[in-house]
Amino acid sequence: MKYRHLGRTGIRVSELSFGSWVTFHNQAGVESAVEMMAAAYDAGVNFFDNAEVYAGGKSETVMGAALKELGWRRGSYLISTKFYWGLHDSVNEKNTLNRKRLIEGINGSLERLQLDYVDLIYCHRPDANTPIEETVWAMHNIIEWGKAMYWGTSEWAASEIVEAIQIAERHHLHKPVVEQPQYNMFERGRMEGDYVRFYKEYGYGSTIWSPLASGLLTGKYNKGIPSDSRGALKGYEWLKNNLTNEQKLARVAALEPIAEELGCTLSQLALAWCLRNPFVSTVITGASRVSQVHENMKAADVVEKITPELLEKIDVIFEVKKEEDEDD
């Protein structure tokens, strides 16, 4: 396993990491979580991603119980969580980054995770109704109190992140250091567009989510929705249109000869493709069973096999417009 700096911080994260979204509690209990996290850790993974909203807090509870059972040395791994959506519907507890909510959020997450601190906290979405300065101060305070080590953003606009950084610099506060955007062969906009100049100028890190496009890029949906997949889960009906989109499925099928040429699975190709982007700090993988963890970890061996020529073939499949074409 290779490790990359999280932006310009001194901390290094495994280039492949492990996240609990959708799977923990919904598809995996504590026993399965222990097995999958152990497999990832043994492969060199040191970063495990979570969020208070995942499974209504139960994802953190499962991960906390798994960590306790695994008994790893605390300095050997990194845990992240996120705040915004909240767990309750009252006016100051839902879809907000106000100071009260953030402080209550970290306290609740630490209790569920059974930890004294987490390594990274994110603002899970931007909040147009709370001044960014209030949010920056709250995140700074949480770090000063030793409840988190670093903070970042998720799905924020580049302009919002720059504003947060500038506020922190002006007041000598802890700055956000990382963004968690969606990034995969289908979803490239911010990582290959809005954020590029921003990453270069500020050295911001990125922990990307949904590298397999919710499983679409694994090829398992090419013949319908398997009964044991996330596409069949109650509460995730919103995924079905995406997972059964004929145009997208045709593009996934067109990737199969490239995967065969490289001697890898479609999942490994999709993950390795993400790792080819130099602005990616880590690719967050997910799994519902340990065999998927083992498969995903082998993606690191595929990265160097993806030549510029193969990248061009992939761009043609996804009809990516080249910069030189845009200049014509």
The more confident residue out of 198 and 188 is 188
Please check the confidence at residue 173 and state whether its pLDDT lies above 90: yes
Residues 287 and 303: their CA atoms lie apart, in Å, by 20
More confident residue, 261 or 233: 261
pLDDT digits (tens, 9 = 90+) for 91-123: 999 999 999 999 999 999 999 999 999 999 999
pLDDT at 181 (0 to 100): 98
For the stretch 60-83, pLDDT in tens is 999 999 999 999 999 999 999 999
Q: Where are the domains of the chain?
A: 3-212+273-308
Residues taking part in catalysis: 54
Q: Is 233 exposed, middle or buried (0-12, 13-18, 19+ CB in 10 A)?
A: middle
Q: Residue type at 249?
A: L
Give the H/E segment covering residue 169.
helix 158-171
pLDDT, one tens digit per residue, over 139-154 is 999 999 999 999 999 9
- End-to-end CA distance of the chain: give it in Å, rounded: 42
Q: Give yes or no for a contact between 213 and 227, defined as CB atoms under 8 angstroms apart.
A: no
- Residues 176-204: what's their mean pLDDT? 95
pLDDT at 242: 77
For every residue of 78-123, DSSP letters joined together read: EEEEEESS-SS-STTTSS---HHHHHHHHHHHHHHHT-S-EEEEEE
- What is the token pair recorded at 179? 């963004």
Q: What is the pLDDT of residue 74?
A: 98
Query: In the prediction, which pLDDT does 221 show?
Result: 78
For tokens 């208070």, name the residue.
Answer: 52
Among residues 162, 152, 186, the alpha carbon closest in space to that of 78 is found at 152
Q: In the predicted model, is pLDDT for residue 238 greater than 70?
A: no
Helix axes 132-144, 158-171, angle to 10 degrees: 60
Fold of 3-212+273-308: TIM Barrel (3.20.20)
Chain centroid offset of residue 216 CA: 16
